[in-house]
Structure 1
């Protein structure tokens, strides 16, 4: 529990750094939809965490492949920047700043990879962070959705963009965008579910309900569908086979959702109309692989085909994609144009690779409550990401990237240690 004293040891600086990055204001009146001001904060905290235990750095051969990957990402971005300057538009300062993304992403990865603390503390701190953020994210989502008039000035000053009228009745949380908030919360939702199956306590039941409600309050249709896909797959995962309680709580959760859905269907349709109409239309009209005239999924498919046609090279990036005539919202359109088809395919495959690693770690640590829940949650998070990122490359938002690459590094480090030592 958050307030209850227990034996779990944590690294307080690491925990506070995670919380600070996520809750740090966006100041939309000054920065709009950008979060460039978050980048210096994340870099500073990363360096601070690395320097804290500088005498205990432990880099090994396992870091070579991630280093090559991030370096190649930078090289491809640099080529896209050159193409942008020659064939598309005049390059601006912010375009040069964009090319440093692989470097600070690599820095985040190092924070999770190096031995700045023992493994127990590292994962415990992350899980404590998950629990704290579920509670505060739920409270923020409730205020934002149902009590916006009472807190309008504060919410709009810190996080929400007032000019985006479509967001008035939707939760955008700490990120100012529904996609980002729901993507972030999906990891926390799966974590709370697996902790519930292990702890069997009212506390984790509430955390699970809070995270689930928060995701629905964002009304992000793509993420709701990704969440549903994750729970449909969940019973068939190896880590679920190793924990029979999963099936008991899975059945109870399913019954609860069906009961509430039937009993309060009119209220849900009224309060979540945007998501309800969009998902209903998707099932009624389906998805056209060539792109349709309506529906956010079809729009994003159209964007991908536009990126495919406009990228003259196909194999590598053609430009940075910041000033294209068509918005490149999904990871598929954005990466196709910016990095090319080879990198796009490789990146999507990486999600499945990390899913495999996290699943193996969850099975290995099936008797360790925190490890099992953390790795199980990460495994499904990676598995649904190719669906979730249809909405937007949410994992690149600096706030989310900080957590995303730290978690990924921990999964990777545990996996290679297991392969080495068994």
Structure 2
């Protein structure tokens, strides 16, 4: 694959932008979600400065990538115009949100990753160390973090630690993204790289479990399977023996501390027992599973426009959380189809490039598709990719992926 020189934002500058996004999320844990649009505007301003300072241009091929947010802006605007009497200010914020997503995609589309990816890797390493320290800290030493109210959900000590990310769903999504990156950072020829990558992969998978988000745990199970298959298939027998021994030790540790786990993970364990053994009894109840089904049922019954959706409607129904309910009601089958194609295309393209013999030294080549595989599970709780305070991270990185592993291949043959 040949590399053109159209990208003009370095990986280090992009890392500064992502860190700015992280700071925005961090502030939310302290000041609360009511300021998310103001903070998102600040982040968008930082992005504008990044674009202006780097001389970025929007190219014709970029327009094909940002068609999803453009479509959502169009559908949202039409719905507001058609229902002006019931529209509220939060409906207009949705337009700002998708304009911001377009901006984040453009920034990512103009990021050039060097072949080795060392600068981006170093930035991810620093970010991972910070998140891992706080994530493990709130689990192992809760009494030292009790003063930071936003770091926990529900009860303080034996609640669900979420650190900087406001809700368990958002925390699990960031952990899944980092776990995906480190799973594909493993280099069999480099012992130090293997140890570091395996350590962070396991840490972030454990942190997902401790969020006690049941849908996220299913995503973590998929990532764990990918992790095991990758180590088993791409390493020699000594490493495979170490893997088997490590799994045996891990199972023994879990068994030994099962009582502790049941205490710290009571919400997760009781939920699984209830849903797996009595799932048919919980669909209509006032719990998270019942509410998700109720939202989907409400969306199916109240969307009069099958293809393009009923619009935002925050003034009269604000609690659509899961992706199927929210996207079907707001954007109809057209919006759902566009979202699925946009987010699943990197998976298909990565497999195609791999079959054609392309190999990338950057972990992002497989990390982003691996993360996307978990999205169907993560999105049962919330559409985290579209959250104002999270979209810079997800769409920015997706823009980097499209730019470095899809557009360059398409334009250079």
- Separation in 1 of the partners of 2:388 and 2:157? 21
- The structural deviation recorded for 1:331 is 1.1
Which residue, 304, 309, 322 being the options, matches 2:296? 304
Tell whether 2:129 aligns with 1:135: yes
State whether structure 2 residue 198 is matched by structure 1 residue 205: yes
The residue number in structure 2 matching 1:7 is none
Tell whether the 8 Å contact from 1:83 to 1:318 is kept in structure 2 after alignment: no
Gaps of 5+ in 2: 1-9
- Relative to structure 1, the CA distance from residue 256 to residue 317 in structure 2 (aligned partners, 3 Å threshold; closer, same or farther) is farther
Moved more, 193-202 or 389-398: 193-202
Cα distance change on mapping 1:265 and 1:151 into 2, 3 Å: closer
Deviation track 1:245-273 (CA, whole Å, cap 9, x = no partner) reads 69948756654543333232222111111
Pair 1:173-2:196 in alignment: no
Structure 1 residue 30, shift from structure 2 partner: 4.5
Corresponding position of 1:285:
278
For residues 222-301 of structure 1, the aligned pairs below 5 Å read 222-232=215-225, 243-244=234-235, 248=240, 254-255=247-248, 257-286=250-279, 291-293=283-285, 296-301=288-293
Separation of aligned partners in 1, 2:256 and 2:353: 40
Give the number of the structure with larger relative contact order, counting CA–CA contacts within 8 Å between residues 6 or more apart.
2
Q: 1:167 to 1:299 in 2, by over 3 A?
A: farther
Alignment partner, residue 108 of structure 2: 112
Other-structure match for 1:4: none
Residues 24-103 of structure 1 correspond to what in structure 2 (within 5 A)? 24=24, 25-27=26-28, 30-32=31-33, 35-54=36-55, 57=56, 59-86=58-85, 89=86, 91-103=87-99
Q: Deviations over 1:104-142 (max 9, x none)?
A: 101100111125xx4218954443333222222222223
Matched residue SS, 2:103? helix
Of stretches 359-368 and 131-140 in structure 1, the one that deviates more from structure 2 is 359-368
How do 1:253-402 residues align onto structure 2 when only pairs under 5 Å count?
254-255=247-248, 257-286=250-279, 291-293=283-285, 296-325=288-317, 327-360=319-352, 368-369=360-361, 371=362, 373-402=363-392
Mark the CA change 1:13 to 1:420 in structure 2 (over 3 Å): closer, same or farther: closer
Give the TM-score normalised by the residue count of structure 2.
Answer: 0.83
Give distance in 2, aligned partners of 1:121 and 1:48: 26
Greater CA drift, 191-200 or 269-278: 191-200
Shift in Å, 1:347: 1.3
Deviation string 1:23-59 (CA, Å, 9 cap, x unpaired) is: 34435665445522321222122112212221xx465
- Are the aligned partners of 1:35 and 1:397 in contact in 2 as well (CA < 8 Å)? no
**Contact in 2 for aligned 1:242/1:366 (Cα 8 Å):** no
Relative distance call for 1:152 and 1:214 in structure 2 (3 A) is same
Shift of 1:374: 1.6
Partner of 1:218: 211
* Aligned residue in 1 for 2:14: 14
Inter-CA distance 196–314: structure 2 relative to 1 (3 Å threshold): same
Give the aligned length.
Answer: 397
In the TM superposition, what is the alpha-carbon distance from 1:385 to its structure 2 partner? 0.6
